[in-house]
Structure 1
């Protein structure tokens, strides 16, 4: 890498606030050591809510890096009074023989109210055989263990779901359609952008990277990180502890788990918008 080191290192209190349609999303970096990111997303029209608290840990294996994403993820369908809890598969980054990125491991999704549960398995078979980035799983009733649906496909192409009772197959995810429809975010209210917004904090660094001015990029990164060290010294001198602005955070040292509860019931519309 020309830059020499990872250019971005999320700082304490850094945020990203964005809107797409009726969905408003807010992320905040609630811990720096270890890195923990909290997410709250709400859609008042559809009456749904998402709450995530993510803490990644990585292991280096010489020719690859495997990152395990810890933390609780919840999707709440408030109209139905249903909460779906899920974990995350591991992210695998290979360097040799060729650069390669894949999800691996198990992903479980469960709704306690309905008893519905999904078990998904992400595979990392050799890309040479043409069947990498695979996903396979099932949806069943955890109270009776009745199998309802089978899932199979490749997450970077298409994923299909088969109704066990009828045998009918349905495409539930098409990566090409999903990605081709994405549009770049735009700033709709410049004055409403918070100073903690990622694009503001790393703006000079990003412009330097785009302009391939590596010396300026390194200096910009140094300025951001030195400011954080100065703020830390000031807090320590005053005996203060930093508190997140948008989440209430609890940490269990014994279990190593993090719980991030949003302070607001609904995420407000953001000054940054992703067009539909």
Structure 2
């Protein structure tokens, strides 16, 4: 194995820790005192991050999303009120923070002297940012205007703050920064949802910006399209598709990734392929893998040679009986894809998805990282902003399995938001964001929401009353 391959091997420390690899017997017992609080303790009394939710996921078998969406075909869904049963117990601000699950890739990129190697890891990070969406068919709660979420991970060396800066259109802004001033990662997202009869399509409008401060580099990209299939009948499943273009604005290097749609026979499901080119547009590396599993890098010549050999083998296999099709009569049938990524000899591993807890299916298909996001650590209520979504009563009630309270609180909070809007309109008063300001992204020249600073000074006197 050469030095480049050795650096990217799974044993080099790029993998996350094993805290997510818990069996159901190791998880907290539902209904216990610890589970109701959503926390676990070590023998020495130090609080650990929890490994389960206080209550199991509720069944959606008795609820019909078709009865709500049948009049909304082709419409944008941000203004459609959905029953709480179709949600998951997280706000969209918390869901957005899951981009940070594989932050170790950014830390590693910061430590490298070669810009091409840095681009490979940034590309892997961009793919890993959507990996948690696999099998996540629940809808996150729409953030209330002025809602915030902070995430401080000293063990991972970063902190994050996000704010709902607009209600119509719904815009969520976030800013994450290294505790050692190695990087800043920020963006604003305007998720556009449309219903197309048998599927819901999500277009995550907005630009991601990652700045590696030591190298004075800035990378920008947009996330791929996401589609939830089988809204009416059958098992729900998710695919990501579209082209993601990452640009290093200092060097001119570019990475173009294609998230492939399902395609014929389900062969392309979850696949991601692309290449990195230098400023002279010469292809330097090929990136391939699955957004649900792992990503690899290989020399373009090796890749092309392998594909020629693989194409001959594939031609013979196509003469056999076809598998499930994603098109035509069975367009939304979930393909039974069992193969893993075929590793091309000489490839270097960039990223591998952290295994989910064994009981994830009973926990809204949350990753181990997602399970911790709504946890209230001891004393947190005294330091959090009053707008933090961990204090939202509807999300908290759903997490605890109290769906009646969750539904009532969701309706109350939405009505409170409408009342506040009417009062502002009556007084001709404009909403003022607290932690972000509209400005120009210095790297793209486009309008963006930029962090104004000051959140972690812990002065929350001017925060609005939204709960």
Could you state the TM-score of these two structures normalised by the residue count of structure 1? Answer: 0.84
How far, CA to CA, are the matches of 1:269 and 1:171 in structure 2? 40
Q: Which residue of 2 aligns with 1:139?
A: 276
Q: Does residue 390 of structure 2 align to residue 199 of structure 1?
A: yes
SS of equivalent to 1:232: helix
- Going from structure 1 to structure 2, the CA distance change for 1:138 and 1:61 (only over 3 Å counts) comes to same
Greater strand percent: which structure? 1
Q: Which residue of 2 aligns with 1:237?
A: 426
Q: Does residue 299 of structure 2 align to residue 163 of structure 1?
A: yes
SS of equivalent to 1:225: helix
Q: Which residue of 1 aligns with 2:252?
A: 115
Q: Which residue of 1 aligns with 2:226?
A: 91
SS of equivalent to 1:176: coil
Deviation at 1:215, TM superposition (A): 3.0
- Going from structure 1 to structure 2, the CA distance change for 1:144 and 1:119 (only over 3 Å counts) comes to same
Runs of 5+ consecutive residues of structure 2 not aligned to the other structure: 1-59, 66-81, 85-140, 304-345, 358-366, 441-445, 459-467
For the Cα contact (< 8 Å) 1:57–1:68, is it kept in 2?
yes
1:165-184 matches, cutoff 5 A: 168-177=346-355, 182=369, 184=372
Deviation at 1:110, TM superposition (A): 0.0
Runs of 5+ consecutive residues of structure 1 not aligned to the other structure: 252-256, 271-276
How far, CA to CA, are the matches of 1:225 and 1:195 in structure 2? 17
Aligned length: 261
How far, CA to CA, are the matches of 2:264 and 2:395 in structure 1? 32
Q: Deviations over 1:124-150 (max 9, x none)?
A: 215964541110001111x21111110
1:73-88 matches, cutoff 5 A: 73-88=208-223
> Paired residue for 1:20, among 142, 153, 163?
153
Alpha-carbon RMSD across the aligned residues, in angstroms, is 2.7
Q: Which residue of 2 aligns with 1:149?
A: 285
How far, CA to CA, are the matches of 2:355 and 2:267 in structure 1? 21
For the Cα contact (< 8 Å) 1:71–1:258, is it kept in 2?
no
Deviation at 1:227, TM superposition (A): 1.3
For the Cα contact (< 8 Å) 2:435–2:455, is it kept in 1?
no
1:245-260 matches, cutoff 5 A: 245-249=434-438, 258-260=447-449
How far, CA to CA, are the matches of 2:281 and 2:236 in structure 1? 40
Q: Which residue of 1 aligns with 2:128?
A: none
- Going from structure 1 to structure 2, the CA distance change for 1:245 and 1:85 (only over 3 Å counts) comes to same
How far, CA to CA, are the matches of 2:396 and 2:264 in structure 1? 35
SS of equivalent to 2:163: strand
Deviation at 1:208, TM superposition (A): 3.4
SS of equivalent to 1:161: strand
Deviation at 1:42, TM superposition (A): 0.5
**Which has the higher Rg, Structure 1 or Structure 2?**
2
> Paired residue for 1:224, among 413, 418, 423?
413
Q: Deviations over 1:234-263 (max 9, x none)?
A: 222222100110110259xxxxx7510110
